[in-house]
A = this chain, B = another copy of it.
Amino acid sequence: MSKGINLKELSLRLNLSQTTVSRALNGYPEVSAETRKRVAEMAEKLGYAPNSQARRLATGRSMAIGHVIPRSIHEMMNPIFLEFIAGAGETYSRHGYDMIISVVEDDHEEDAYRQIASRKKADGVIIHGPANNERRHKLLQELNLPFVVHGRIPGAEEETSWIDMNNRRAFERATNLLLDLGHTRIALLNGLEHMDFARRRRRGFEDALQARGLAPETSLMRSSDMTEPYGCDNAMEMLKSDNPPTAFLVSSMISAIGVARAIGQCGLKTGKDVSIITHDDALSFLPNSGEVPIFTCTRSSVRFAGEKAAELLLDMITIPTSAPKSLHLDAELILGQSTGPAPSS
Contact = CB atoms under 8 A, between A and B. Distances in A.
Given A286-B227, A286-B228, A51 B119 contact: yes
Nearest to A83: B78
A76 interface: yes
Contacts of A92: 103
A11 to B, nearest CB: 17
A79 B98 CA distance: 21
B285 A144 contact: no
A103 B85 CA distance: 9
Nearest to A88: B103
Contact of A78 (B82, B99, B143, B257): B82
Interface string A28-72: 000000000000000000010111111011000010100001010
A86 B99 CA distance: 15
Interface in A281-308: 283-287, 290, 294
Interface in A111-126: 112, 115, 117-121
Contacts of A54: 57
Interface in A212-231: 225-229
Contact of A285 (B75, B260, B284): B75
A25 interface: no
Contacts of A79: 78-79, 82, 285
A133 interface: no
B93 A229 contact: no
Contacts of A143: 1, 3
B82 A81 contact: yes
Given A1-B143, A294-B229, A119 B285 contact: no
How many copies make up the complex?
Answer: 2
A254 interface: yes
Contact of A287 (B81, B115, B229): B229
B264 A78 contact: no
A49 to B, nearest CB: 4
A119 B264 contact: no
A86 B75 CA distance: 12
A102 interface: yes
Given A79-B285, A285-B254, A98 B100 contact: yes
Nearest to A230: B287
A254 B100 contact: no
19 contacts: A1-B143, A3-B143, A52-B121, A53-B53, A54-B57, A75-B284, A75-B287, A93-B103, A93-B104, A98-B121, A99-B102, A100-B100, A100-B101, A229-B287, A229-B290, A257-B257, A257-B261, A261-B261, A261-B264
10 tightest A-B CB contacts, nearest first: A89-B103, A49-B118, A264-B264, A82-B82, A53-B56, A53-B57, A75-B285, A52-B119, A75-B284, A49-B119
